[in-house]
Amino acid sequence: MTMKQLTDKTLTWVKVALFLVALIPLARLIIGGLTDALGANPIEKITRSTGYWTLVLIMVTLAVTPLRKLTGWHWLTRTRRMLGLFAFFYACLHFLTYLVLDQFFDWDSILKDIIKRPYITVGFPTFLLLIPLAVTSNNALIKKLGGKRWKGLHRLIYVIGVGGVVHYWWLVKKDLTNPMAFAAILAVLLSFRLVFWWRGRQPQARPVIAKPSN
């Protein structure tokens, strides 16, 4: 067995490992809350942490296809759905922290934030774009939509990636190290996408068949 071809049993263990790793940020927040270790502003800590890991998981999800094409590890595709759903999970926690703990369902205040604060103006629709991707991440809807329409819908992940980076960049006021790192990673991943798209549009060379000599 090679890295290009994993057995179903091995792939199951890989998925279990990824599942447990993806839960570590949540576990750290829970333990921090129980031990009063979230700092002077626990709501801000939870908001920043869930937002950060949402972006990390979006970037990892976007990296699956380039890694598969560069390495030939086709099994990576079978981890992408779980990674994307974990990104949505942390995005939901990020949004709910703001909605419930920060604003406590104050819709007037939330509306004012969406209008007045650019990072929320970008962040809110970016979160909404994640919803149809999460809803359609099951075999029944994939089959119902058809491969072409489903793939077209899920290309929104690139728009979501850009929106997430801009949201984070505008949120951070001083140290832009992390937002710049995310922007650089996203730029590389989008460049790979453009290269693969361009190669796919190139005409395939037809093999030349030599005619037998008389």
Q: For the full predicted model, state whether its pTM sits above 0.85.
A: yes
pLDDT for 201 equals 66
Give the model confidence (pLDDT) of 35-58 as tens digits: 999 989 999 999 999 999 999 999
pLDDT, greater one: 32 or 143? 32
CA distance 83 to 62: 10
Q: Is 72 left (phi over 0), alpha (psi -120 to 50) or beta?
A: left
Cβ–Cβ < 8 Å for 90, 22: no
Give yes or no for a contact between 61 and 83, defined as CB atoms under 8 angstroms apart: yes
| Closest to 26 (Cα-Cα) out of 84, 87, 78, 76 | 87
Compute the mean pLDDT over every residue in the chain, rounded to the nearest whole number: 89
pLDDT at 198: 77
State yes or no: pLDDT of 205 exceeds 70.
no
Residue 176: phi and psi, rounded to 5, are -95, 15
In tens, the pLDDT along 80-102 reads 999 999 999 999 999 999 999 99
